[in-house]
Structures are given as C-alpha cells and as structure tokens.
Structure 1
Amino acid sequence: MVTMKSFKTEFHLDKGSKDHIANQVSTITSMVQLGSIGGSLLAFILCDKIGRVRSLQALTLLWAVGFVIVITSYNSISQILGGRFIAGLGIGMTTVVGPTYLVEVAPKAIRGMLTNIFAGAVYLGVMIAYFSNWGSSIHISNSSRAQWVVPQSVHIIFAGFIFILSWTVPETPRWLIMKGRDEQALANLCKLRQLPADHPLIQIEIIEVKEQLEREKEGTHGTSRWGKVRELFFIPANRYRLMLGVMSQLLGQWSGASSITIYAVEFFAALGKTGESEKLFATCILGIVKFFSAYICAFFLIDFLGRRRCLYTGITLQAVSLCYIAVYLAIVSSSAQSPTICDSAKRAGGGAIAAIYISGFGWAMGWNCFQYLLNAEIYPLRLRALGSSIVMSFHFINQFGNTKAVPSMLLAMSGFGFFLFCTIVCALGLVWVWFFVPETAGKSLEAMDDLFQLPWHQIGRHSEAFTAGQGSLSEAVGMDYLEKAEQDGEPTK
C-alpha cells in the first residue's frame, strides 16, 4: 500500500528526506504489529474465559472494524495508524486462537499437518494481498484513492467470511472439560472424530484429558489467580517450554523472512526490478512460492520428516540463499545498473531473485512450520493459552522491531550488510536447534509431559531415544481395539 503513488500523494509520503520518509513508512507498516502485541496477550484472557471459538469471533470483529477505519481516512495518517492498531489487536489474537484450537481438536497423527495448514493460510493472505495491490496498480488510476482502498477492503471481506463460518465450528472438548461441561465435551468430540460416544477411543481420549487436568489441578492447588504465571516461570519443565517459544521467535523473526515479505517491493527494486508494476508482479510470484511451499510442507513433510529435520533443512536453505544475495549485492549490484552490464552479471541478478524465492521456501519449511506448531503443542492444558499468548506477544514485539528497523537498516548497512546479518542469524539458529529443540512428532498432547522431564541438556539432542516406544493410553487401547476388530472380521476404518 505504501508504495502506491495514490497513497503517497494523499498522505504526502513523497516529500521530505529519505530518513523522514523511511520513518513514516515504517511507522505505518509496523502499527499492525504493535497492536498485535496487545492482541496476543488479550487472547490468553479471552481463550480461557469465553472459549476458543468465541475468541475467534471477537478477533474478526476487531480486524474488520480496524480496516473500516483505515479505508475511511482522508489525508489523516493518525486515523490510518489508529485503524491499523485496532486491526492488529484482532490479527494478534489469531496466532494464539488458531493453533490452540487446532492442536486441541486434531488427532496427533495429523496435528502437524493441520496446524501448518493454518500457518500456510498466512501466505494465502499474503498472496491475495500481493495480487490485489498488483491488480489495482494496473487497472485503477494512480490519481484515484480507490487504488489503495480496494486492496485494503479485502480484509473486511475475509473477516466477515470467517465470522459467519465460525458459527458452524464446535468448541474444543479440552476447554469444555476444563470448564466442567463434560456432556458437551463428549458430544463435540464425537462430532470431531465421527465416532459414537461408547467407542473405546472416544472414552479413552476423554479419560486422558480429565486425568491430565486433575494432575495439573493437584499440582497447583491453593494457588492465587497468578498461579499460572508462577507455574510457567518457576517450574523447570515449563520454563524450558517457554524458552523454546521465545528463542524460536527471536531467531525466526530476525532471519529475514518477515522483512522480505513486508518490504518485498523494496528488495526487488534493489535486485534490479525498477518499474512499479514489475516490482509488484515479482512480489506476487513470492506470494505464490510461499503459499505453495507452506502447504507442501504441511501435507508432505512436517509429520513425515519430523519437526527437527524440517527445521534443519529449511534454515539451511534460507541461510544459503540469503548469503548468495549478500554476495551479489556486495560484488555485482553496483555494476548491474550499468547499460553495458555483462551477461554473467545479468545471470547473477536472476540468481539473486531466485534466491529470494528459495529463501521463502526455506522459511515455510523451517521457522514458519515450527513457530506455530511447537508453541501450541508443548504446553500442558492449563498453560496452553497463557504460554502461547506470551510467546506470540514476543513474536509481534520482534516483528514490530524488525518492521520498524528494516528501512533504516537498509540505509545504514546497505542491502549487503542486511542480508549478511540475516545469514548470521540463520547460522545461530542451526546451532540452537541442534542443541535444544526436541522431536515432538507422533506424541500425544497428554504424553508430552514425559518428554520435558528429561534433564534440560538432553531434551533436544536425545529426546527421540529417551521417548522411543512411549505411547499414550489411547494408543494402546486403540491397537487392541483394531486387533480385536480384525479378528472378528469387523471394518477397521
């Protein structure tokens, strides 16, 4: 939006020094992230108070109202900032409400796939945004404010669409049990699993959730309303969980992927795409790459290769591609502007643009898969909303800092220095993953506690060996049920 001539003219973003313009652009852009910090913390209160589904409905209203305020602003940057902040409150809640809901209703065999379908939906939104901006730049005059208003209106359409569909979604059985509504929990679980109430797998899943909740209540009996916070920070296993979430956000957000997504137009300009339509079309290709990459990882990789292998591979791809771009900008970029540019420099420029796309695939396979999924699946039931809220607020704190800092970093460090910085962050991320990150694929939410009872220095490197063969009660009963059904000649769907 901020790169469109119509928006620049209306809000005077084409006047002043480079530093002044960079500061204004970063303030407008980062206001959603600033609101999202508060939204992710608000989600903890609402998720535990009114439930996961009602929280979803609340966030869509905030999201829609915020962008109504944005598109009705006339020559008022203050109104733009206020609207984007309110929308950010709703957007920040999505990163807690969505993964929390999904991990609580998903069978563990496809928990990673379902949660990463959610993560991939982020890039469905990115792709739609890029194409909306590109289409508006081609078909709507840059002298009309409709050029930037029309793409922003897509937010309101999607918020309304999700609000309507949310009334068909059942509340999670785990939250209902936590609130003492056992009968409704049983009915919702039967609907989700498409099995009768007397089925052994349904009965065992209900028993497991109740037993875990009872253990948690016994361990925290007599604590004040701030007991959950103390429990999260002062119990070593929970503190390790929180460390995983916080560090994944710190390393993931500063690895460069979010910056490229948000400031894609500026980065493609630095790599030789000069026309406005040409730059916007290049961002559309990036949106397609990230969208399909996210879903390839969700459907075919995350539950089959495991969390650690996907993370290793994705970060490595990201680091190599960003390093290539840094080298290109340091050596070739200055000569690339010459009218007598050689063929090898042209090919190197094409390679740098391809590297942007490869880094997008690496991000989708690595940090993007990891930051939503692991954060939502490792916490005990009582602490899931709180832990996710704290980590996702840290997510948006880093994203806000990143979004605010990047325009100034590009001026101060040049493109070469920025991409080198991101490469170093990726390398640090690989070391951290090797030492600290456990493998959680295939483990039930209720069995996750066993994993974090290991000594802290063994959880990452030796988690698979220590927990090999440890299944949940529902696994054991389920296998017995299948074996008996096969012996009796019954269908085993």
Structure 2
Amino acid sequence: MGQKIDTCSITSNPSTPSGEEKQRSTPPKEKKFRWRVTDEHSPPEIYNWTLYLSVFVFGILGSARGYDEGNIAGTVAQISFIKEFGLNSKLLSATQQANLKSNITSMVQLGSIGGCIIAMYTVDRFGRIRTLQGVCILWIIGAIIQCTSHSVGQLYAGRVIEGLAIGQTTTIGPTYLSEVSPKAIRGLCSCIFAGAVYFGIMLAYFANYGTALHVVGRNQWVIPTTVKCYLAFLILVGSTIFCVESPRWNMKVGNSEMAAKNLSKIRHLPVDHPYILSEIADINEQVSSEKELTQGSTVISMLKEIVMTKSIRYPFFAIATLAQILGQWSGANAITIYSPQLMSLVGITGIKSLEMTAVLGVVKFVSAYLAAFFLIDFLGRRRSLYIGVTIQMVTILYFAIFLTIVPQAAVKGSVLTPSQNMAGKAALAALFLSGTGWTMGFNSIQYLLGSELFPLRVRSFAQSIVMVVHFANQYGNSKAIPKMLLAMDNFGAFYFFVGVLVVSLFWVYFLIPEVSGRSLESTEEIFSLPWYLVGRRGAELCPDHSEVNRVNYNVDGTGNAHGGDIDYVTKPSTEFIEDTRKEELVRNNP
C-alpha cells in the first residue's frame, strides 16, 4: 500500500471508470443562470423543516447583539434618558460628555469580551443548545437590571452582564449553524445569524422612534429595553422545542450513536442511508485524527496549536482576525451606534433623526437577507466581499467629501443653498448605501469564515478568540468615534474609514479563499498552500475530496442504493497527484 499524501492535490489522468460506472453516470447538464443555489447532488430530504427551524432559532440569536446596538443608539438620544443620567450636564465639558456617552454605549462590548472567553469553555463543555439556554437567562437578568436603573453605576452593571450573554452568542450561533447546515447552503444558514443582527437593529430603531413619538418620561427608554427580555424568552422556548443538538458536538464528546440519530433527524434520512453514513464517516475521520493530536490538551496547548500549526495559524491571523479588525474600523459600527449624531452632520436632527435611523435599520435588514439568500452561496465569499467593500468605500468617500465641502450643514440653524440641500440628501443616501455594502461584505463573512475555516478540534475555541478580537475592536471603536469626530473635524474620521476599505480590497484578493460548497472537513487542506496562492487559486488547487462529496443524487433513478436515488462514486484505483509544495508528480497507489 502506498503512503497517503496529506496535501493539496490536482487529480489528473484518473483510471478509466468501469462499464458499470459509465452506465450510472449521467451526461452533464447545460448550466443555466440562476439567482439561487441549486443542489442537484444531495437527497432532497435534507432540506426540511427540522433543519429550517433549528437554523431559525440559532440564527435569530444574532438579534441579541443587533438589538442592543440599535437600542442604545436611540436611547442615548432620548430626552428622558439624557436628563436622568446627566448626559448634557453643564458640570461636564464636551469631552467629558462624550466620554460618558461612549462609556454607556460600550459597556456591552466590554462585557462581550468576557462572554467570548467564557464561551471557549461552555460551548464545548455543555453543548450548543444548553449553552444557548443559559445565555438567554443571563440576557434577561442583564436587561432587568438596566430597566430598573436610576444610577449610572447600576446601568453599567446591567450592560456588562448583558454583554457576558451577547459575547457567547457570537460563538454559539455561527458554530452550530456551520455544523448542521448542508454544504450547499452553509453560507446562507450562517448569514441568517449575521442578518438577524440587523433584524435586531431595525426592531430597536422602530421601538425607539415609536416611544419618542408617543411616550413621555422614563418609559421612553425603559419600554424598548424590556423587549430584550421577550426576545430572550422566545429563543429559550424555541431552543427547547425545535432544535436538535449538533451531531459534530455529539461525535466530539464520544457519543457517536446520538450523533448518527441527530444527523438523521436533521437530514430526514434513515440512519443507514449512504448520505448519513458518508457524512458521519467524514466527521468521525476528523474527530479520530484530532483525538490523537489533542489528548490531554489544555488552553495553553490549543493556543500553541493556533500559533504553530500553519493550517490553523493562517485562517486565524490572516483571515478571521483581520476580518474583525478591518471590518470594525471600516466605519459601519460608527454609523450603526452613532447614527442620530451622524444624521445631524447633514442637517437632520430631533425626531427626524430617529425616523431616519429606523429607515437605515430597514435598509440594512433587507440587504442583509438579500445577500444571505441570493449572494453569499451563489456568488461566493470572495465576490460578495468585493462588491460589498467597494460599495461601502465609494459611499463613505462621498459622505466624507460632503462634510469637507459643506461643513456648515452640521451647524444648527444654518441655511443651505438648493444644491447643498440636494448634496445633503445624497449624503444621507450614501449612509444608507454604505450599510448595504457592509451587510453584503464584511457582515456576511465576519461570523461565517471563522466558523467554517477552523478544524473541529479548535473550532469553538478559535471562534471565541476571534470574537474577543471582534468585541475588543468594537469597544475601542465605540470609545474612539466621538473623540475622532471632535479631533478630526468630522470628515477626517470618514477618510480614515476609506483608507481601511482600500486595504481591505487587497486583503480579499490575496488572502481570502473561496470555500462555498465545500464540506467543513475539506477546508483545512487549502492552507497548506503558499500564502500568495490561498486566495487566488486555493479552491482550484485543493478540490474537495470528502466522502460526502462522492455521494450523488440522481433524479432519474439510476443510482444503486435506497430505491435507486443515490449513486456512491467509488475512488479510482490509481491517482496521479501533483504536490504543489514540491512541484513534482507523485504516484499514489492506495
């Protein structure tokens, strides 16, 4: 038996298939243009309501983070909140007022860093569902503390506790969704979580706008804050009734029988179906090899593996971490959290600014799910990023130019010429379109790539660290933006964001591989390539050779298993493999 080569390869000159295999093969169909992903190689049963309900519950978890961002953006602009917590106190300088506002808004991000660290342990120790349920309870406690606050100290405490819950959601949701989703729609399912962030933002914007119009006094900000309790309770109930635990987590903790049963439930196929057997075989192969590598593993050893193992180091530092840094400093977070303040820079103030933030919430929500359903799997990760980053860059550049040329628009009571008024409306539209670019680009991949690029043995651990980076940057960003707007004459901050987005385009071209349509177990191979090939040719040089990729669904009934609907393609007896690292042909005789 020849030695197995664990490297990326290009298969060439495969042995001629037997007559039986020729009979089973079907002629290739003419490709048609479709604005959706079609999976003609998997049993149709795998797309079912058990899967959809599980995806919905874990996906809507993204609204936890989104609702808080949208809620606090409007809350700090509510007159009753400003008076109660002294945001406009004459005893404070402009810098001190900015600090107080940024402290209130950023406390959830600070708590979320701790939540991500906690998730390194809880998600693997208790499973995806049990951890989710614990997080919902913690989320409710944090919201109640905020609603009953009469002092800044208690408000801080409630927001930190809420952050401990929200930080864990960013590991739980993406990890579960990537593990249960069929590979053809893994991007779509993971983007349900990313899109739910903007469902939460939109809901919060409308709650703030509604109470600003119809409620007076303290309840102006208390009522929107209580919505967090209802969201948490509904997700808690949904996880109890509808969700099936991740088969990959079952396998990881040694419960292979439950893994097969849960996978059977999610896929709506018998436990002994070839598709189930193939997927279980892929998971089991990875888990078995990883157990040998991780026996007696500790936090230190996993950190060491992230740093020392190339196939983990590359996606961690060059992709997942940079996605968080570049994404958080691209300006999108500033526009979300400080949208009422930014609206005032183009002359929109008061209740009208809250109305416009509600419109911004709708734009981001709709564009997030349009990207999830029609772009991320159809166009792929790289093209979606290119389009999103380019839209975001162009629109933020226009907004910066407007602030440079018409600075008087930010001065209350100033009179603008008709052309300046039109330019101001275009600047407002640019803010909205920048949100569209963000949801198509960085927002679609900031949770997705981290959950699908890491091997199972470090997936939740690495994803938790990545989200620590996420919230650390978001915390720094939310603290820095008020000061940047003061120190850089408003427009300077937006030119900085444009510079970050220019760098992001080069980052996508060289470093981001296309992994749409691949099994989770096959993505690690790509990172054995030289760094300059990973983004440009990674998918081409490292095709997906997983077992589940060899199972084909035939609508014409020419298969040979389970009533003739499955065709299990066997490996050719001989393969010629090109080792891209040594640039020589090696003959592999299995």
Which residue of the other structure, out of 14, 20, 24, is the alignment partner of 2:100?
Answer: 24
Aligned residues: 488
| SS of residue matched to 1:303 | coil
Cα shift readout 1:296-349 (whole Å, capped 9, x = no counterpart): 000000001010010011001000000000000000232675765222111100
The answer on 1:305 being equivalent to 2:376 is no
Taking the aligned partners of 1:252 and 1:313, their CA distance within structure 2 comes to 14
Name the aligned partner's letter for residue 18 of structure 1: A
Change over 3 Å in CA distance of 1:153–1:314 after alignment to 2 = same
Stretches of structure 1 that go unaligned for 5 or more consecutive residues are none
After the TM superposition, which of the residue ranges 331-340 and 316-325 deviates more from structure 2?
Answer: 331-340
Name the aligned partner's letter for residue 382 of structure 1: R
C-alpha contact (below 8 Å) 2:551/2:566 kept by paired residues = no
TM-score by length of 1: 0.96
Which residue of the other structure, out of 536, 540, 559, is the alignment partner of 1:485?
Answer: 559
Which residue of the other structure, out of 547, 565, 570, is the alignment partner of 1:473?
Answer: 547
5 Å-filtered alignment, 1:231-246, equals 231-243=305-317, 244-246=319-321
Change over 3 Å in CA distance of 1:482–1:250 after alignment to 2 = farther
Which residue of the other structure, out of 41, 46, 55, is the alignment partner of 2:131?
Answer: 55
Cα shift readout 1:392-412 (whole Å, capped 9, x = no counterpart): 010000000000111111111
Taking the aligned partners of 1:224 and 1:336, their CA distance within structure 2 comes to 54
Which residue of the other structure, out of 402, 408, 413, is the alignment partner of 1:328?
Answer: 402
Taking the aligned partners of 2:492 and 2:516, their CA distance within structure 1 comes to 37
After the TM superposition, which of the residue ranges 407-416 and 310-319 deviates more from structure 2?
Answer: 407-416
Aligned match of 1:292: 366
Which residue of the other structure, out of 332, 339, 344, is the alignment partner of 2:419?
Answer: 344
Aligned match of 2:197: 122
Taking the aligned partners of 1:40 and 1:190, their CA distance within structure 2 comes to 31
| SS of residue matched to 2:489 | helix
C-alpha contact (below 8 Å) 2:553/2:559 kept by paired residues = no
Aligned match of 1:151: 224
The answer on 1:175 being equivalent to 2:249 is yes
C-alpha contact (below 8 Å) 2:557/2:564 kept by paired residues = no
Taking the aligned partners of 1:404 and 1:413, their CA distance within structure 2 comes to 15
Taking the aligned partners of 2:299 and 2:562, their CA distance within structure 1 comes to 52
Name the aligned partner's letter for residue 93 of structure 1: Q
C-alpha contact (below 8 Å) 1:43/1:93 kept by paired residues = yes
Stretches of structure 2 that go unaligned for 5 or more consecutive residues are 1-74, 568-590
| SS of residue matched to 1:478 | strand
Which has the larger Rg? 2
**1:17 offset after TM fit, Å?**
1.6
Sequence identity of aligned pairs in percent? 46
**1:225 offset after TM fit, Å?**
5.6
Aligned match of 1:67: 143
**1:61 offset after TM fit, Å?**
1.2
Aligned match of 1:3: 77
Name the aligned partner's letter for residue 224 of structure 2: P
| SS of residue matched to 1:414 | coil
Which residue of the other structure, out of 97, 100, 105, is the alignment partner of 2:175?
Answer: 100
Name the aligned partner's letter for residue 283 of structure 1: T
Cα shift readout 1:264-304 (whole Å, capped 9, x = no counterpart): 01000111102x21000000000000000100000000001
Aligned match of 2:259: 185
The answer on 1:216 being equivalent to 2:290 is yes
Which residue of the other structure, out of 404, 415, 435, is the alignment partner of 1:360?
Answer: 435
Which residue of the other structure, out of 442, 445, 450, is the alignment partner of 1:370?
Answer: 445
After the TM superposition, which of the residue ranges 428-437 and 219-228 deviates more from structure 2?
Answer: 219-228
C-alpha contact (below 8 Å) 1:200/1:478 kept by paired residues = no
The answer on 1:131 being equivalent to 2:206 is yes
Taking the aligned partners of 2:130 and 2:489, their CA distance within structure 1 comes to 46
| SS of residue matched to 1:447 | helix
Aligned match of 1:113: 188
| SS of residue matched to 1:446 | helix
Cα shift readout 1:175-215 (whole Å, capped 9, x = no counterpart): 00111111111111111001111110001111110001111
Taking the aligned partners of 1:335 and 1:181, their CA distance within structure 2 comes to 63
After the TM superposition, which of the residue ranges 180-189 and 323-332 deviates more from structure 2?
Answer: 180-189
Aligned match of 2:118: 42
Cα shift readout 1:422-461 (whole Å, capped 9, x = no counterpart): 1111111111111111111111001112212212231112
**1:222 offset after TM fit, Å?**
5.5
Once superposed, what is the RMSD of the aligned Cα atoms?
A: 1.9
Aligned match of 1:443: 518
| SS of residue matched to 2:103 | helix
Which residue of the other structure, out of 478, 485, 507, is the alignment partner of 1:410?
Answer: 485
Change over 3 Å in CA distance of 1:488–1:111 after alignment to 2 = closer
Task: Please state which structure has a larger fraction of its residues in helix.
Answer: 1
| SS of residue matched to 1:153 | helix
**1:223 offset after TM fit, Å?**
4.7
| SS of residue matched to 2:154 | helix
Change over 3 Å in CA distance of 1:229–1:340 after alignment to 2 = closer
| SS of residue matched to 2:528 | coil
**1:481 offset after TM fit, Å?**
9.9
Change over 3 Å in CA distance of 1:331–1:54 after alignment to 2 = same
Taking the aligned partners of 1:224 and 1:133, their CA distance within structure 2 comes to 45
